[in-house]
């Protein structure tokens, strides 16, 4: 919609998400972080620890999005297969990175423990590192693919060190009304038609015995957002309700 739309695809790697054992929170964190950088997430996929599926998804996403971010599967155990998958996707060898190796060796450990940890020094040939401010082994980048840990705090630390080149920053306006979606659907559709460059979302809710709808307008064009918000508030007032919780981001 914007002149310069920069997109990202997110790949969440891990059986624990698909089995329901773990609630993923990385996608939302990454989405909110990238919005501030002028990058929109185009799609996200949650994939199991199966090489063929990870490889296929990485190759699909890296062709379709400016950035691809992956989380999970870069630890020291048998189910950590992301590095091998990324190497396979790029058809390159896996090599040992000296910087990661040094970081791992700086922490004393018995030989067998060290050997397992050194699995984390393996990266696809040609990769560069993503720093890990928590002090653990680094992540890595190859072309437009950014490979990060799955543990939220480590992922967040790694993400904070990546320099993204984003596009126009997408801003938002939101307002809530104690009206059902269908009570304003026509007017919403008209406003959407009048402002084709604004993404207007309508999200019904029911809480504390009150039903209502949250309306979210998103666009890089702040003056259009303000004008559309004003029209929306007028619609809510006309329907006998008060525009609530107006937020501008």
Residues that bind a copy of itself (CB under 8 A): 14-25, 27-35, 40-49, 53, 75-80, 109, 112-117, 119, 151, 153, 170, 172, 180-186, 188-189, 192, 199-206, 216, 218
Tell me the three state secondary structure of residue 103: helix
Which residue lies nearer to a copy of itself by CB, 92 or 164?
164
User: In whole angstroms, how close is the CB of 170 to a copy of itself at the nearest point?
Assistant: 8
Which residue lies nearer to a copy of itself by CB, 125 or 246?
246
Which residue lies nearer to a copy of itself by CB, 59 or 202?
202
Report which of 89, 118, 66 is spatially closest to residue 13, judged by C-alpha positions.
Answer: 89
Distance CA 241, CA 203 (A): 17
Which residue lies nearer to a copy of itself by CB, 102 or 128?
102
Tell me the three state secondary structure of residue 153: helix
User: In whole angstroms, how close is the CB of 90 to a copy of itself at the nearest point?
Assistant: 21
Provide the phi-psi class of 73: left if phi over 0, else alpha when psi is between -120 and 50, else beta: left
User: In whole angstroms, how close is the CB of 126 to a copy of itself at the nearest point?
Assistant: 26
Are 24 and 17 in contact, with CB atoms under 8 Å apart? yes
* CA–centroid distance for 214 within its chain: 22
Which residue lies nearer to a copy of itself by CB, 29 or 164?
29
User: In whole angstroms, how close is the CB of 110 to a copy of itself at the nearest point?
Assistant: 8
User: In whole angstroms, how close is the CB of 155 to a copy of itself at the nearest point?
Assistant: 13
Ramachandran angles phi, psi of 108, nearest 5°: -60, 145
What is the Cα gyration radius of the chain? 22
């Amino acid at each position: 919609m914007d002149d310069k739309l920069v997109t990202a695809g997110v790949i969440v790697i891990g059986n624990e998400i698909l089995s329901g054992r773990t609630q993923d929170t990385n996608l939302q964190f990454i989405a909110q972080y990238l919005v501030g950088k002028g990058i929109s997430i185009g799609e996200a996929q949650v994939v199991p620890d199966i090489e063929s599926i990870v490889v296929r998804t990485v190759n699909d996403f890296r062709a379709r999005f400016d950035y691809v971010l992956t989380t999970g599967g870069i630890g020291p155990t048998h189910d950590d297969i992301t590095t091998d998958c990324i190497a396979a996707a790029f058809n390159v060898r896996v090599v040992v990175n000296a910087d990661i190796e040094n970081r791992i060796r700086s922490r004393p450990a018995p030989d067998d423990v060290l050997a397992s940890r050194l699995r984390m020094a393996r990266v696809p040939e040609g990769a560069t590192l993503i720093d890990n401010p928590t002090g653990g082994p680094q992540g890595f980048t190859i072309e437009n693919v950014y490979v990060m840990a799955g543990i939220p705090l480590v992922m967040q630390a790694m993400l904070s060190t990546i320099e993204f080149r984003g596009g126009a920053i997408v801003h938002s306006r939101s307002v809530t009304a104690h009206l059902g979606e269908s009570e304003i659907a026509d007017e919403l559709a008209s406003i959407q038609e009048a402002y084709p460059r604004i993404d207007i979302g309508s999200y019904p809710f029911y809480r504390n015995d009150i039903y209502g709808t949250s309306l979210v307008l998103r666009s890089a064009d702040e003056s259009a957002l303000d004008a559309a918000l004003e029209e929306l508030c007028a619609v809510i007032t006309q329907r006998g309700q008060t525009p609530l919780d107006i937020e501008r981001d």
